[in-house]
Amino acid sequence: PTLDCNGIWGGYQGEGSKTVIPSKAAAKISCRLVPGQDPRRITKLLLEHIPTLAPKGVKVHAFEHHGGTPLVMDTSSPYFAAATRAVERAFGCPPVFIRTGGSIPIALALKTALSSEIIFLDLGLNEDNLHSPNESFALEDYKRGILVSSYLLEEIGAVGAEI
Protein backbone atom coordinates (compact mmCIF):
# COMPACT_ATOMS: atom_id res chain seq x y z
CA PRO A 1 0.00 0.00 0.00
CA THR A 2 0.93 3.64 -0.37
CA LEU A 3 0.72 5.77 2.76
CA ASP A 4 -0.20 9.43 2.16
CA CYS A 5 -0.10 12.25 4.69
CA ASN A 6 -3.10 14.45 3.85
CA GLY A 7 -2.70 16.97 6.66
CA ILE A 8 -0.49 17.71 9.64
CA TRP A 9 -0.77 20.35 12.35
CA GLY A 10 0.29 21.22 15.87
CA GLY A 11 1.39 24.03 18.12
CA TYR A 12 0.56 27.69 17.67
CA GLN A 13 -1.05 28.36 14.28
CA GLY A 14 -2.19 31.97 14.51
CA GLU A 15 -0.45 34.94 12.92
CA GLY A 16 2.87 36.04 14.32
CA SER A 17 5.51 34.00 16.07
CA LYS A 18 5.43 32.15 19.38
CA THR A 19 8.17 30.31 21.23
CA VAL A 20 5.88 27.68 22.73
CA ILE A 21 6.52 23.98 22.47
CA PRO A 22 3.33 22.34 21.21
CA SER A 23 1.55 19.99 23.58
CA LYS A 24 -0.36 18.30 20.77
CA ALA A 25 0.13 17.49 17.11
CA ALA A 26 -2.03 15.63 14.67
CA ALA A 27 -1.91 14.12 11.20
CA LYS A 28 -4.40 12.62 8.81
CA ILE A 29 -3.19 9.79 6.62
CA SER A 30 -4.72 7.62 3.98
CA CYS A 31 -3.59 4.37 2.48
CA ARG A 32 -4.06 3.44 -1.17
CA LEU A 33 -4.59 -0.29 -1.47
CA VAL A 34 -4.30 -2.61 -4.42
CA PRO A 35 -6.59 -5.52 -5.31
CA GLY A 36 -6.09 -8.44 -2.99
CA GLN A 37 -5.40 -6.30 0.06
CA ASP A 38 -7.94 -6.43 2.85
CA PRO A 39 -8.62 -2.91 4.17
CA ARG A 40 -9.53 -4.26 7.63
CA ARG A 41 -6.21 -6.11 7.88
CA ILE A 42 -4.19 -3.11 6.63
CA THR A 43 -6.00 -0.79 9.06
CA LYS A 44 -5.33 -3.16 11.94
CA LEU A 45 -1.63 -3.37 11.04
CA LEU A 46 -1.33 0.41 10.78
CA LEU A 47 -3.18 1.04 14.04
CA GLU A 48 -0.84 -1.40 15.78
CA HIS A 49 2.35 -0.05 14.18
CA ILE A 50 1.89 3.73 14.28
CA PRO A 51 2.03 3.99 18.12
CA THR A 52 5.35 2.10 18.11
CA LEU A 53 6.92 4.98 16.14
CA ALA A 54 6.31 7.59 18.85
CA PRO A 55 9.15 8.62 21.16
CA LYS A 56 9.00 7.69 24.83
CA GLY A 57 6.46 9.78 26.74
CA VAL A 58 4.35 10.58 23.67
CA LYS A 59 0.79 9.26 23.60
CA VAL A 60 -0.68 8.31 20.24
CA HIS A 61 -4.39 8.14 19.52
CA ALA A 62 -4.81 6.49 16.12
CA PHE A 63 -8.22 5.54 14.76
CA GLU A 64 -10.00 4.62 11.53
CA HIS A 65 -12.32 6.99 9.71
CA HIS A 66 -13.47 4.72 6.88
CA GLY A 67 -12.17 2.37 4.21
CA GLY A 68 -13.02 0.46 1.10
CA THR A 69 -12.02 -2.72 -0.68
CA PRO A 70 -9.94 -2.22 -3.86
CA LEU A 71 -11.57 -2.81 -7.23
CA VAL A 72 -10.13 -3.37 -10.70
CA MET A 73 -12.24 -2.94 -13.81
CA ASP A 74 -12.56 -5.86 -16.19
CA THR A 75 -10.86 -4.59 -19.36
CA SER A 76 -12.19 -7.57 -21.34
CA SER A 77 -15.79 -6.64 -20.58
CA PRO A 78 -18.05 -5.59 -23.47
CA TYR A 79 -19.00 -2.58 -21.34
CA PHE A 80 -15.37 -1.55 -21.08
CA ALA A 81 -15.17 -1.83 -24.88
CA ALA A 82 -18.31 0.33 -25.10
CA ALA A 83 -16.69 2.97 -22.90
CA THR A 84 -13.56 2.83 -25.06
CA ARG A 85 -15.63 3.48 -28.20
CA ALA A 86 -17.51 6.33 -26.50
CA VAL A 87 -14.28 8.08 -25.50
CA GLU A 88 -12.83 7.62 -28.99
CA ARG A 89 -15.95 9.06 -30.59
CA ALA A 90 -15.91 12.14 -28.36
CA PHE A 91 -12.17 12.83 -28.36
CA GLY A 92 -11.27 11.59 -31.85
CA CYS A 93 -8.57 9.23 -30.58
CA PRO A 94 -8.46 6.08 -28.48
CA PRO A 95 -8.16 6.46 -24.71
CA VAL A 96 -4.96 5.70 -22.86
CA PHE A 97 -5.41 3.04 -20.19
CA ILE A 98 -3.50 3.50 -16.96
CA ARG A 99 -3.95 1.79 -13.65
CA THR A 100 -4.65 4.44 -11.08
CA GLY A 101 -6.03 4.72 -7.60
CA GLY A 102 -9.23 6.31 -6.47
CA SER A 103 -11.26 6.41 -3.30
CA ILE A 104 -14.80 5.39 -4.05
CA PRO A 105 -15.47 2.73 -1.40
CA ILE A 106 -19.06 2.13 -2.53
CA ALA A 107 -17.95 1.00 -6.01
CA LEU A 108 -17.31 -2.64 -5.08
CA ALA A 109 -20.50 -2.76 -3.01
CA LEU A 110 -22.50 -1.53 -6.02
CA LYS A 111 -20.79 -3.98 -8.36
CA THR A 112 -21.56 -6.83 -5.97
CA ALA A 113 -25.15 -5.80 -5.16
CA LEU A 114 -26.06 -5.18 -8.80
CA SER A 115 -23.99 -8.02 -10.30
CA SER A 116 -22.86 -5.46 -12.84
CA GLU A 117 -19.71 -3.90 -14.20
CA ILE A 118 -18.36 -0.65 -12.81
CA ILE A 119 -16.66 1.71 -15.24
CA PHE A 120 -14.69 4.77 -14.19
CA LEU A 121 -13.99 7.31 -16.91
CA ASP A 122 -11.27 9.75 -15.94
CA LEU A 123 -11.44 12.65 -18.36
CA GLY A 124 -8.92 14.83 -16.53
CA LEU A 125 -5.34 15.57 -17.45
CA ASN A 126 -2.26 15.65 -15.21
CA GLU A 127 -2.15 19.43 -15.50
CA ASP A 128 -5.65 19.61 -13.95
CA ASN A 129 -3.96 19.08 -10.55
CA LEU A 130 -6.76 16.89 -9.18
CA HIS A 131 -7.65 17.64 -5.52
CA SER A 132 -5.07 20.41 -5.23
CA PRO A 133 -5.73 24.04 -4.29
CA ASN A 134 -5.34 25.03 -7.95
CA GLU A 135 -7.42 22.19 -9.39
CA SER A 136 -8.88 22.91 -12.82
CA PHE A 137 -10.75 21.21 -15.63
CA ALA A 138 -10.71 22.55 -19.18
CA LEU A 139 -14.11 23.66 -20.46
CA GLU A 140 -13.46 21.82 -23.74
CA ASP A 141 -12.83 18.56 -21.85
CA TYR A 142 -16.02 19.17 -19.84
CA LYS A 143 -18.00 19.49 -23.08
CA ARG A 144 -16.39 16.38 -24.54
CA GLY A 145 -17.20 14.59 -21.27
CA ILE A 146 -20.87 15.32 -21.90
CA LEU A 147 -20.48 13.78 -25.35
CA VAL A 148 -18.75 10.75 -23.82
CA SER A 149 -21.74 10.28 -21.50
CA SER A 150 -24.26 10.38 -24.35
CA TYR A 151 -22.13 8.13 -26.57
CA LEU A 152 -21.65 5.71 -23.69
CA LEU A 153 -25.42 5.33 -23.30
CA GLU A 154 -25.68 4.56 -27.02
CA GLU A 155 -22.78 2.10 -26.90
CA ILE A 156 -24.11 0.32 -23.81
CA GLY A 157 -27.52 0.10 -25.49
CA ALA A 158 -25.86 -1.61 -28.44
CA VAL A 159 -24.06 -4.05 -26.09
CA GLY A 160 -27.35 -4.80 -24.32
CA ALA A 161 -28.99 -5.57 -27.67
CA GLU A 162 -26.17 -8.04 -28.46
CA ILE A 163 -26.33 -9.89 -25.13
Model pLDDT, residue 67: 82
Under DSSP, is residue 151 helix (H, G, I), strand (E, B) or coil?
Answer: helix
Rounded CA-CA distance 160/163 in Å is: 5
Say if residues 29 and 65 touch (Cβ distance below 8 Å).
Answer: no
Task: Look at 17-21, 87-91, 151-155 and tell me which has the smallest mean pLDDT.
Answer: 17-21
Give the strand pairing for 2-10 and 25-32.
antiparallel
Model pLDDT, residue 59: 92
Most confidently modeled range among 31-35, 87-91, 97-101, 108-112: 87-91
Could you give the residue ranges of the DSSP H alpha helices within 7-65?
Answer: 39-49
- Calculate mean pLDDT across residues 126-147: 92
Model pLDDT, residue 1: 65
Per-residue pLDDT of 25-65, as tens digits, reads: 999 998 888 878 888 999 999 999 999 999 999 999 999 98
Torsion of CA 84, 89, 91, 95, to 10 degrees: 20
Model pLDDT, residue 130: 84
Percent of the chain with pLDDT over 90: 48
Mean of the per-residue pLDDT values of the chain: 88
Model pLDDT, residue 157: 93
| Helix, strand, coil fractions of the chain, as percent rounded to 5 | 40, 10, 50
